[in-house]
Amino acid sequence: MNAVAELLPLEQCATRSIAVIVAQTPEIVLVDAGKRDDLYAHIRQEVEAFTPDLTTAKGRDAIKSLAFKITRTKTAIDAAGKKLNEEARAKIGVVDAARRDARETLDQIADEVRRPLTEWEEAEKAREAAALDGLAIITGMAQVNVDDTSETVATRIAQLRGLEMSADTYRDGLAGAEAQRQNAIATLETAHQRLTREEADRAELAKLRAEAAERDRLAAEKAAAEEAERQQAEAAKREQERQAAAEQAEADRIKRAQEQAAQAARDEEARKAREAQDARDREHEAALAAERAKAQEAERLRQVEAARIAQIEREREAVAAAVQAEAKRVADEQARREKNRAHRGMIMGEAKTAIMSCGVDEAVAKAIVLAIVAGTIPHTSIQF
């Protein structure tokens, strides 16, 4: 910018036009607040010294002239300001072009320098993703659901035992991944033992039920045969009694003289017959009681077996619920870590943007943020 002359003291400018003073060096009032205040004071002094006269045309023209001089002063200052802005914008354009060229050139050089690291980071991300996928596969294979059988669990055990655990993929996490695989195998082996027992118990229960059904069938056949035998015995008895009565009646007609002896013989025979019948009745009742006791014992055994099976089912459901609860806990913990990681990333990104707004480039701003988070810059921290 060209050198500008300072405004003359007010007492020396009393007879000079304000517009003339500003026309000589109008930019002085834009870059020097003191000179601007002097100009305002000079204008106010001239205005205060002016006596407006509205009664004559000359007086009204004098008012217009003074107002016009003030307006011309404003126009000259505004024009000078525009010129200063144009010069500044021209310089800013040159600087911006140089900045763009520096950014593009240095970004290209930085990218070339960083390319090996970038390629390594990308390969590392792919390796970490493969490791996470492998761990997810192990976790998924360790889950046992209600549709699993001892055969399906045994198949997954074999698959886990044959799973390749590459040191190139897991690196420092190889021991942890191997431990996770062994834990998964142990979990599946426990489940395999449980399922094998449950399947054996179900087979045994089916066998017991079949045996109980066969026993019931045989008992029913035996009871039916005994009932038929009893009815035949009673029919035979009735026939014997009928024949005995007929013979007795015939004997009475034939041999009245032997009535007392015959009657005594009949009484004795009837007594023996009753005793024999009572004995047969007692034997039959004992047989029926034994069958009832046998049937009651079979029913008791059936109820005990049903209770045992129900307990096994409750235990299986409890194990399944525990497995589901653990899966939910793992998923919730993973979601919490992801949310925390995203929150930290957002806060650090906002801090980086704020630092960049101070004229620092992105790489340096990022390094500053990481240093603050790491605690290597004293008395400085980031609140998450």
- Stretch among 147-161, 261-275, 298-312 having the lowest mean pLDDT: 261-275
- Residue 243 structure tokens: 């024949």
Alpha-carbon distance of 123 to 169, in angstroms, equals 11
72: confidence class by pLDDT, cuts 50, 70, 90: confident
Q: Is the pLDDT of residue 13 over 50?
A: no
Domain parsing of the chain, residue ranges:
10-115, 331-384
Alpha-carbon distance of 237 to 117, in angstroms, equals 113
What is the per-residue pLDDT across 137-148, written as a single tens digit (0 to 9) for each? 888 888 888 888
DSSP string covering 303-349, please?
A: HHHHHHHHHHHHHHHHHHHHHHHHHHHHHHHHHHHHHHHHHHHHHHH
Alpha-carbon distance of 316 to 201, in angstroms, equals 13
For residues 201 and 312, is the Cβ–Cβ distance under 8 A?
yes
Chain mean position to CA 247:
99
Provide the 10 A C-beta neighbour count for residue 347. Answer: 15
What is the per-residue pLDDT across 194-235, written as a single tens digit (0 to 9) for each? 888 988 888 888 888 888 888 888 888 888 888 888 888 888
Maximum distance among all Cα pairs of the chain, rounded to whole angstroms: 195
Task: Tell me the angle at which helices 174-254 and 150-161 cross, rounded to the nearest 10 degrees.
Answer: 160
Type of residue numbered 268: E
Chain mean position to CA 112:
41
Give the pLDDT mean for 73-93. Answer: 83
DSSP 377: S
17: confidence class by pLDDT, cuts 50, 70, 90: very low
Q: Is the pLDDT of residue 8 over 70?
A: no
Report CA-CA distances (Å) from 259 to 246, 251, 256, 265, 272: 15, 8, 5, 10, 20
User: Across the chain, what does the average pLDDT equal?
Assistant: 81
The pTM of the full predicted model, rounded to 2 decimals, is 0.33
